[in-house]
Structure 1
Amino acid sequence: MSSDDHTNPTTLLDVARAAGVSASTVSRILNGTARVADDKRKAVLAAIEQMNFAPNQMARSLKKGSTMTIGIVVQDISSPFFDETLRGVDDALKGTGYTSVIVSGHWNADEESDRIRLLLARKVDGIILLTGRISDETVLQFSNHRPIVATGRALRTANAIGFKVDNEHGAWLATRHLLDLGHRRIVFITGPASSSDANERLAGYRRAMAEADVAVDPQLVVEGDFHEPSGLAAINRLLERDVPFTAVFAANDLSAYGARLALYRKGIRVPEDVSLVGFDDLPGSSYTAPPMTTVRQPLYDLGKAATNALLSLMGREAFDEGVAPVELIVRETTLPVARQDKRGHAGAGP
């Protein structure tokens, strides 16, 4: 019976026997994880072609030196921040023939490095790193093996490109907005100290306050970690200590959501009692009650730009390097101090 008979299709074991290698070697070659001599690799590919082994994109790609896959390292697959950026990546890949493999670094430098090594072992053609904790030096070392595009970094080499938004300016815009409304007791909920984005936003807050000749009360700079519970805890700590404030600027929208919940539970109204500003402009920020003032990052555009840059590094056409700047989106969570109900200051009841 012929090998192409539908009742007796060629198997991986048949290919292994024809190539004179083990079945596990064939499997590892097809998965792109095997380190074998060229003669064995060529024998396996020749057997696949000769025996018409089931149409296999990986095998065809190996012959061309490409797997037609890109690896994407995110930090939190459940975060809407990464959802928006991945949507941009997905749209940019449409029609290119490439598929993506997504892994998470969980905001841990060692884990990020492990995930990148895993992607390299799977022979992805390139890698997109969405923010993260590994150093620029480490990114450049990995780029010696595959092209890498990273967001949140200022990189430009023959095999690595970085895209960085102006976090400091965005935070300056948010703080300046609150200062222009007459606020002076402005809380800043930080991001993690290990995050350059968070530190740049803190710098923008401090710069705006200094330019307005307003001293920053150390009590008003409260630790957060970019997640909702940290925003909730930050405001609760201030309220427990009876620290007065009229406005809150959170280093990201998720922290602002937590802050909003803490204020609500204490009967403190937004914006009638306390004004609130976030950073990112996640989709949900248009639908909070009331809709939240925030600094818009071009998350979707960043995803598209990063993907187009990677395709360019991998030999496609040149890409448009332009990404929209950050901008303040004023909605309904901020009011001038003169129009706020003074009873709503921290520590006071409604």
Structure 2
Amino acid sequence: MADTPHSSGPSTLMDVARQAGVSPSTVSRILNGTAKVSDDKRQAVLAAIEKMNFAPNQMAQGLKKGRSMTIGIVVQDISSPFFDETLRGVDDGLKGTGYASVIVSGHWNAEEEADRIRLLLARKVDGIILLSGRMSDETVLSFSGQRPIVSTGRALQTRSALGFKMDNEHGAYLAVHHLIELGHKQIAFISGPANNSDAAERLAGYQRALQEAGIPIDDHLIVEGNYHESSGMLAMNRLFDTHQQFTAVFAANDLSAYGARLALYRKGIRVPDDISLVGFDDLPGSSYTTPPLTTIRQPLYDIGRIATQALLRIINGEEARGAVPPLELIVRETTRRVR
């Protein structure tokens, strides 16, 4: 193999070919995975790439394949730490692929989500990741006929669409079962919005755990929230205003639990000495609340990373597949055995 003359500029595909003693087309075919060459020749090209620190122009390669090398991401609330953690997984899933992301927000509105997807399609993205949302499955499948879509929070499985849905009912069951094992029988529930499918499933898990334990469901202990901190605080205050008796609270997400914790603090009620508290999500901040929050861990980062990998497989014509870890109970310091 001939040494390449020193150059202050970036190495090119021609330089790599010269260094490896092969044709430029062979280098190109090895890079895009279509070359049928001997192992010796392949190793020579890879060694040349490493030696010369060659970085192929991913955008140029994408354009040759009719791709924009961009992925559209639809989130519901850019300011939410829930979506922030998932986006971190998406970002890591794109590292080293040559793809860039375009992020838009649907604001939990089905029409706005659809408008944002049309905007992304007009920008010629190669695929779309839909993080939760209110659109119907039928609408998502319709859009997937134009570009591949991977969505969280729904169960889909077609050649151009894949969904990752967590078992919210089981997660809520684990939370309430934990409280019941600690001897709690009067367990309040701060739910999510009534028109949210995840919230409905978590309510069902709360009810199943009580029913299996032979504990009557008291509708007065169920207060609707909206997944934000303020709704957790307001829901807790409503429970106090109506003089409900309870020894534990299960909040349908960690943000609601944060608000509930503040309301308890302002009433001089100690957690967990007086009332136990459980959340749902295991946001990064839940390890640092006072005291650290017992919660149900959703693998938010893993969901983002695995959804991204699945979308790239679909774009490359491979099978749409992927699985995320199950939900699990994380016991910290906001729960204790009932006095």
Q: TM-score range by the shorter chain?
A: 0.7 to 0.9
Who is 2:84 aligned against? 83
What is the CA–CA distance in structure 2 between the aligned matches of 1:274 and 1:181, rounded to whole Å? 12
Where 2:249 maps in the other structure, the secondary structure is strand
Aligned 8 A contact 1:133 1:194 in 2: no
- Listed as ranges, the matches of 1:43-54 within 5 Å are none
Is 1:229 the counterpart of 2:220? The answer is no
Deviation per residue, 1:89-133 (Å, 9 max, x gap) = 110100000000000000111110110010001000000000000
Who is 1:140 aligned against? 141
Where 2:280 maps in the other structure, the secondary structure is strand
Identity value in percent:
73
Q: Post-superposition, which runs of at least 4 consecutive aligned residues in structure 1 deviate over 2 A?
A: 56-64, 316-320
Aligned 8 A contact 1:308 1:319 in 2: no
Who is 1:329 aligned against? 330
Is 1:201 the counterpart of 2:202? The answer is yes
Deviation per residue, 1:43-102 (Å, 9 max, x gap) = xxxxxxxxxxxxx99788555311000000000000000011111111010000000000
Who is 2:69 aligned against? 68
What letter is aligned with 1:275? S
Deviation per residue, 1:231-274 (Å, 9 max, x gap) = 00000011111111110000000000000000001101100110
Q: CA RMSD in A?
A: 1.6
What letter is aligned with 1:312? R
Who is 2:247 aligned against? 246
Is 1:114 the counterpart of 2:111? The answer is no
What letter is aligned with 1:281? D
| Structure 2: stretches of 5+ with no match in the other structure | 1-56
When normalised by structure 2's length, the TM-score is: 0.81
What letter is aligned with 2:80? S
Higher mean displacement: 71-80 or 320-329 = 320-329
Give the length in aligned residue pairs.
283
What letter is aligned with 1:103? V
Aligned 8 A contact 1:190 1:225 in 2: yes
Deviation per residue, 1:280-303 (Å, 9 max, x gap) = 000000000000000000101100
Where 1:232 maps in the other structure, the secondary structure is helix
Aligned 8 A contact 2:158 2:320 in 1: no
C-alpha displacement of 1:319: 7.2
What is the CA–CA distance in structure 1 between the aligned matches of 2:270 and 2:97, rounded to whole Å? 49
- Listed as ranges, the matches of 1:1-350 within 5 Å are 61-62=62-63, 64-315=65-316, 321-338=322-339
What is the CA–CA distance in structure 2 between the aligned matches of 1:292 and 1:275, rounded to whole Å? 10
What is the CA–CA distance in structure 2 between the aligned matches of 1:321 and 1:227, rounded to whole Å? 30
What letter is aligned with 2:141? L
What letter is aligned with 2:241? E
What is the CA–CA distance in structure 1 between the aligned matches of 2:230 and 2:239, rounded to whole Å? 15
Aligned 8 A contact 2:162 2:320 in 1: no
